[in-house]
Structure 1
Amino acid sequence: MPERERDRDRRIQDLGTLKAIAHPLRMNLYRALTIARTATASQLAGQVDEAVSLVSYHLRKLAEHGLIEEAEPQTTDGRERWWRPATDGVSIHDEDFSDAPEKAAAHTAASRLFFEQRADMYRRFLDERAHWGAAWNAASDSAEWLLKLTPDELTELSRRMYDLVREYEERGRAAVTAGDTGGRENVAVHTYAFPFRT
């Protein structure tokens, strides 16, 4: 499949696509493919510790919903099918799933799954922190801010944070493309911004 101008993010608005990505293994595969940019089922199977046949099945399900797509082969071995994310990311918004109870329930279940997987990633870092060394430990961050905002202010804050993360994402990809991989690791940035009452 030829290279094309990639969409920034795909906004998931239908229940079928939400359910497709809100599967624990599929979300892990989507995340691994986002990091790798292109990979085969065999390569991804090794990362998620599952059988190649099972990984292939779930990759096809993600492709059916336009979340991933076939990529140009990276080797001359024509037996392997290469995959890539169809966009740079996905977004899911509450307002797209709040008009029916079953849609709202699916959105809540998906959100909980994503949170648990992100929490597992952070727990793994905490367990392995001693092996990362002083520089990565000093650079890593965990913070909490308790603010008094309006919905409009929270929307603006989220957009500005999103734009800043995208700037660093593009910087990292450009550096890797230019061959500057020294000292670079995959970095997860998770934020949660929500109202609460005491």
Structure 2
Amino acid sequence: MTDRDRDRRIKDVGTLKAIAHPLRAQLYRLLILNRVATASQLADQVDEAPSLVSYHLRKLAEHGLIEEAEPRSGDGRERWWQPASEGLSIHDEDFRDAPEKAAAHSAASRLFFDQHVDMYRRYLEERAHWSDEWTSASDNSEWLLRLTPAELAELSKEMYAVVRKYEESGRAAVAAGDTEGRENVAVHTYGFPFRV
């Protein structure tokens, strides 16, 4: 990847709508995990036709979310893809200035949340098939705090830094061949105000 950003900040509605498609969001997540893949490989993982997956990958590429990768095989017909950045970030303040932008941001946020819930629900349904070690290590916590906006922002920043530390050490270990006992792990956090 050339000139990779740490996280790509999405600021326009077109790009937001491109990633806020259920299959595209799923394909993007798989590319983040796999680092590089072909449409056929991803199609097997999402149980869709390679032609449909290829179409959606091209849409993600049109918005600069993914890019072509160096071929990993001698088959010149295969097109390899990779994320164009380490991840994505979407901030509410980038979509507040017009009702249609705010509506697009809300719709995208709901889609991502629903996908997070589906991932966790799948884990709960499959939990009996995971080892005691994995189920003991898994976490589902809720903290109810009294904070200011500045304190919540600082908390989010600190949590982000901790997750990044583990992400980097995990990737380094895998790159060094240390894959024993490693699984994909989802970490979802939500920090938001509410009134009772």
* TM-score (structure 1 length as normaliser): 0.98
2:172 corresponds to which letter in structure 1? Answer: A
Shift of 1:6: 2.2
1:136 corresponds to which letter in structure 2? Answer: W
Shift of 1:51: 0.4
Q: 1:70 matched to which residue of 2?
A: 68
- Look up the SS of the partner of 1:144 in the other structure: coil
1:1-198 mapped onto 2 (5 Å cutoff) = 3-198=1-196
1: CA distance, partners of 2:134 / 2:104: 37
| Percent identity of paired positions between Structure 1 and Structure 2 | 76
Q: Which runs of 5+ in 1 are unaligned?
A: none
1:105 corresponds to which letter in structure 2? Answer: A
- Look up the SS of the partner of 2:67 in the other structure: strand
2:90 corresponds to which letter in structure 1? Answer: I
Shift of 1:5: 4.5
2: CA distance, partners of 1:49 / 1:27: 15
2:62 corresponds to which letter in structure 1? Answer: E
RMSD: 0.6
Q: Which runs of 5+ in 2 are unaligned?
A: none
- Look up the SS of the partner of 2:122 in the other structure: helix
2: CA distance, partners of 1:6 / 1:178: 21
1: CA distance, partners of 2:94 / 2:21: 19
Shift of 1:7: 1.2
- Look up the SS of the partner of 1:69 in the other structure: strand
* TM-score (structure 2 length as normaliser): 0.99
Deviation above 4 Å: which 4+ runs of structure 1?
none
Matched length = 196
2: CA distance, partners of 1:175 / 1:144: 30
2: CA distance, partners of 1:6 / 1:128: 36
